[in-house]
Amino acid sequence: MSNPITPSSAEPVVTATDPIPVPVNRIPTPATTPPDILRCAYMEIVVTDLAASRKFYVDVLDLVVTEEDETTVYLRSFEEFIHHNLVLRQGPVAAVAAFSYRVRSPEDLDRAVAFYTELGCRVERRAEGYVKGIGDSVRVEDPLGFPYEFFYDVEHVERLAWRYDLYTPGALVRLDHFNQVTPDVPRAVAYMEDLGFRVTEDIQDEAGTTYAAWMRRKPTVHDTAMTGGDGPRMHHVAFATHEKHNIIAICDKLGALRMSDVIERGPGRHGVSNAFYLYIRDPDGHRIEIYTQDYYTGDPDNPVVTWDVHDNQRRDWWGNAVVPSWYTDASLVLDLDGEPKPVVSRTDDSELEVTIGADGFSYTRKGDEAQGFKLGNTL
């Protein structure tokens, strides 16, 4: 039986099974079996003013403190049962120290070591873990320059899902995904597919230039995404709420606290992922997304949605403008010595440039010329 994809009536959405072009300078596929990754589990970020960051994440965003000391705060979301989803560590330079994934078994750490060793990457393993609450773990500088961590062993803590006496209007219930900036998206995707990830959606142009790709292990739209740009850098880390009004409540609270200027983009509805979203910036400029309601992607033949970079509804389904900083700003990442990784420039076309301003071109309806009163048209 053939599996014809019925094209969506939303015309510029194209679906296909394997839409990303073959990369020119492919990272070789290791012969060894990759680790069986369950999900993105936590991010460790370096902040330059721990008190200010604690206030932002705990007092404003209402993340739950599992544990803290003078230099570090361990935070989790309401439905989490592992020790943390976010680590704030005091340091001299705002950056990301680890993108951490949970794997299915302790043996998967051996597989991670073999996989990255074969790739020629720097690999370190610590039986006692790198941060509190996490046991035996592996950290690597991956082929794209990102500090990736893998662990299985973890301290269990109370899952606060039923603790409605503690919920706040904007309660964050789950870590949803990471988003990484890298110059060559097809090259990054091919490596991530070797690591066991699957593409769910992507943005391309007619020439096949790939601007971004979303990839998953758990059956949501993504555990991480690759966004084309100067990298390696961290674009954002995303937490989920239950409903859309929870995200609106966060905006309202930021207004009441006279902190509305931390709202960078949104709230809005994504085209890609179909989720409702908000982007805010923490005191160091690290970008946080609040996200709710994407869709199940767990079947191996889950249709891949390819968006035209010129479709003005791809990034915001309502066609609202993407602020330039959202394309240009991102956080540095650290190597395993804790030093910032040098950033390599993207040489492919930039999504910002091809879509906004005098040289850009975006449409609401394919064939119609861009027009109207949208702010994005006037930039």
| Residues between 200 and 219 that touch its own copies (CB under 8 A) | 218-219
Handedness of CA 206, 210, 211, 214 (dihedral sign): positive
Q: Are 292 and 238 in contact (CB under 8 A)?
A: no
Stretches 22-30, 193-201, 266-274, 339-347: which one binds its own copies (CB under 8 A)? 266-274
Residues 332-371 that bind its own copies (CB under 8 A): 364-365, 371
Q: Which of 67, 72, 90, 167 binds its own copies (CB under 8 A)?
A: 167
Stretch that binds its own copies, among 25-33, 47-55, 156-164, 341-349 (CB under 8 A): 156-164
Site for its own copies in 271-300 (CB under 8 A): 271, 274, 276, 281, 293, 295-296, 298-300
d(CA 288, CA 181): 14
Could you please report the per-residue DSSP string of 97-153?
EEEEEEESSTHHHHHHHHHHHHTT--EEEETT-SSTTB-SEEEEE-TTS-EEEEE--
Of 114-122, 226-234, 316-324, 332-340, the segment contacting its own copies by CB under 8 A is 316-324
| Contact residue for its own copies among 87, 254, 330, 334 (CB under 8 A) | 254
Distance between CA atoms of residues 377 and 312, nearest Å: 10
Q: Pick from 118, 257, 339, 353 the residue near its own copies by CB under 8 A.
A: 257
Would you say 171 and 62 are in contact if contact means Cβ atoms under 8 Å apart?
yes
Binding to its own copies by residue 64, rule CB under 8 A?
no
Residue 23 neighbours by CB under 8 Å, 6+ apart: 184, 186, 187, 189, 190
Least distance from its own copies to the Cβ atom of residue 3, Å: 5
Task: Assess contact for 221 and 294: CB atoms under 8 A.
Answer: yes
CB of 247 to its own copies, least distance (A): 10
Q: What value, to the nearest 5°, has the Cα angle with vertex 228 and ends 223 and 232?
A: 75
Closer Cβ to its own copies, 195 or 254, answer by number? 254
Shortest Cβ distance from residue 263 to its own copies (Å)? Answer: 5
Binding mask 93-132 for its own copies (x = CB under 8 A): ---------x-xx---------------------------
